[in-house]
Chains A and B, each alone.
Chain A
Amino acid sequence: MNLNVPFALVGYIEPWWMVVIKSIVFAVIGLQLVPIVLLMERKILGRFQNRYGPNRVGPYGMMTPIADVIKLLSKEPFRPKTAIGWLFELAPVLSIVAAFGALALIPYGPVVDIFGTATGLYGIDVSIGALYLFAFGAVSFYSVMLGGWASGSKYSFLGSMRACAQLISYEVPQGMALIGVIMTAQTMSLTGIVEAQQAMWFIVPQFFGFIVFMVASFAETNRPPFDLAEADAELTGGYNTEFGGSKFTLYFFAEYLNLIVLSGVATAIFLGGWLLPFGIDAPNWVGPFVVIFKMLLFVTFFIWVRATLPRLRYDQLMSLGWKVLLPLATLNALVTAIVVVVF
């Protein structure tokens, strides 16, 4: 085995200063999407339940997320006696770092010309795109596990154990669901996958993969109906029970950032990223708006499902993951492999 081959090829085409500007811009875009998604969730959830949702702070309640964050940040930094040292401080930071790391992967557009500098409208274009995503997903498990363990409370610990079992079980079908796409596109880089969808979005040929990926995404983001990690009726809040104030804010932001990241990845992989439907050719500046629109579409779907489905029992969750989604994803990968080889 030749170890001189680089593990991952990172396609940098722009000068270093453009990379710095780019990463700041994408981090800011990601952070700005969080309050929008927060407000969207509350408003849309309200409409689903025949109520308005928040409408008191600012016009149409638009300042609610900011008021929320101010409230959380001005709280007393509480720390249980049994909390384990610096791990208790580290775990929330780890969660937001992992979420931001994965955020870099979302492609907003192709390589464009900005003031004479060729710039890719994506944070980073790695040749192992999907693996990079799963790597950061795995790092975010650590934040959940460490957070629950370091709080030194049995509810947190139970919640984190549940969360880890759930996240690990659902990462498997999620990865398997992507294999079909990767085989069809012949690349793992997300920009490459988007470009392979010029003729047809992968939601059509990889429909089963899409469904498995979506169901697994609900589990990966700890969203209802798979929010067992923080099943409030049973666990008083799960792994983040003991976290308050700014530490909880970090977990809270990371959770919604993960939702945005998975929406963005699903957009890039199944909904043709920045491509418009029916082969409509648009100027390059439209790309980011198309991506953000499709991402918010996915977020709306996540909220819709949250308004609809009740939480699963734990054994149902496990059997759905291992007995239904994993065989489906494997079958999908197998059939795709045969189709790719034969035709």
Chain B
Amino acid sequence: MAWNPEADVIEVVRGPDKPGGAGGLYRAFGETLRGLKTTFGQLRMGVDTIQYPEEKVPVYPRFRGRHQLHRFEDSGLEKCVGCSLCAASCPADCIRVVAAENTPENRVSAGERYAAVFEINLSRCIFCGYCEVACPFDAITMGHEYELSAANRSDLIFTKEMLLAEPLERTPLRAEGE
């Protein structure tokens, strides 16, 4: 098909007449007043700021924040069986699991073995959520906490106790449809 230049012609909208002169001055004055009116309109529209530390934006339910380890609600045993699949799936290589055998005297998890050491180095974590997907027992999930600053790097290595603990403060959650 032959190219029709008519379709590509863009009409350039120019001002009423050429700049300068008394007309230009009058127009500039009018436009200045119009600009002042526009900014004044913004004044009446109120404030959009969210006062962050006091007021937080609610996160979506599937938001991937800091990890959490879970226990069974009835028996209180840990869900994690120390299989290291999460460590294997982690692209940032930030999870370290050392497994140990459960004994009848010391029963920590529901399976044969449990995680004696479970550490996540959050300074390396990229919050991809692969560990959550890899876990066969839903023992590790991505929580909603995103305030993860620390004074030094070693404070960002979270141990099993820290990951099992309930978060001190719940992040506000928004409904899925919202």
Contacts of B35 in A (CB 8 A): 308-309
Interface flags for B34-58 (1: CB within 8 Å of A; 0: not) read: 0110111011011111010000000
A308 near B38 (CB under 8 angstroms)?
yes
A32 at the interface (CB under 8 A from B): no
Check: A52 CB closer than 8 A to any chain B CB: yes
- Interface pair A50/B45, CB less than 8 Å apart: yes
State how many angstroms separate the Cβ of B41 from the closest Cβ of chain A: 10
CA distance A49 to B46 in the complex (A): 9
Q: A50 to B39, Cβ gap below 8 A?
A: no
Identify whether the interface residues of A are mostly helix, strand, loop, or mixed. Answer: helix
Flag if B32 contacts A309 (CB, 8 Å). Answer: yes
B162 within 8 A of A: no
Whether A50 touches B32, Cβ cut-off 8 Å, given contacts A304-B39, A307-B39, is: no
Q: When the two chains form their complex, are residues A308 and B49 in contact, meaning their CB atoms are under 8 A apart?
A: no
Task: Output the nearest chain A residue to B25 by Cβ-Cβ distance.
Answer: A324
Interface string of B3-41 (1 = CB under 8 A from A): 000000000000000000000010000001001101110
B36 neighbours in A (Cβ, 8 Å): 304-305, 308
What's the Cα separation between A305 and B40 when bound, in Å? 10
Whether the pair B47, A52 counts as a contact (CB closer than 8 A) is: yes
Given contacts A308-B35, A309-B32, A309-B35, contact A50 B40 (CB under 8 A): no
Q: Interface size on A (CB < 8 Å)?
A: 13
Residues of A within 8 A of B49 (CB): 50-52
A79 within 8 A of B: no
In whole Å, how far is B21's beta carbon from the nearest beta carbon of chain A?
A: 10
For A305, give the chain B residue with the smallest CB separation. Answer: B36
A48 CB within 8 Å of chain B: yes
Asked if residues B42 and A49 are in contact (CB atoms below 8 Å), the reply is yes
A47 at the interface (CB under 8 A from B): yes
Point out the residue from B25, B32, B38, B47 that lies within 8 Å of A51, measured CB to CB: B47
B47 x A50 contact (CB < 8 A): yes
Can you spell out 6 A-B residue pairs with CB atoms less than 8 angstroms apart? Answer: A46-B47, A50-B42, A50-B49, A52-B47, A308-B35, A324-B25
Residues of B within 8 A of A (CB): 25, 32, 35-36, 38-40, 42-43, 45-49, 51
Extra inter-chain contacts (9) besides given A48-B39, A51-B47, A304-B39, CB under 8 Å: A48-B42, A48-B43, A50-B42, A50-B45, A304-B36, A304-B40, A307-B39, A308-B36, A309-B35
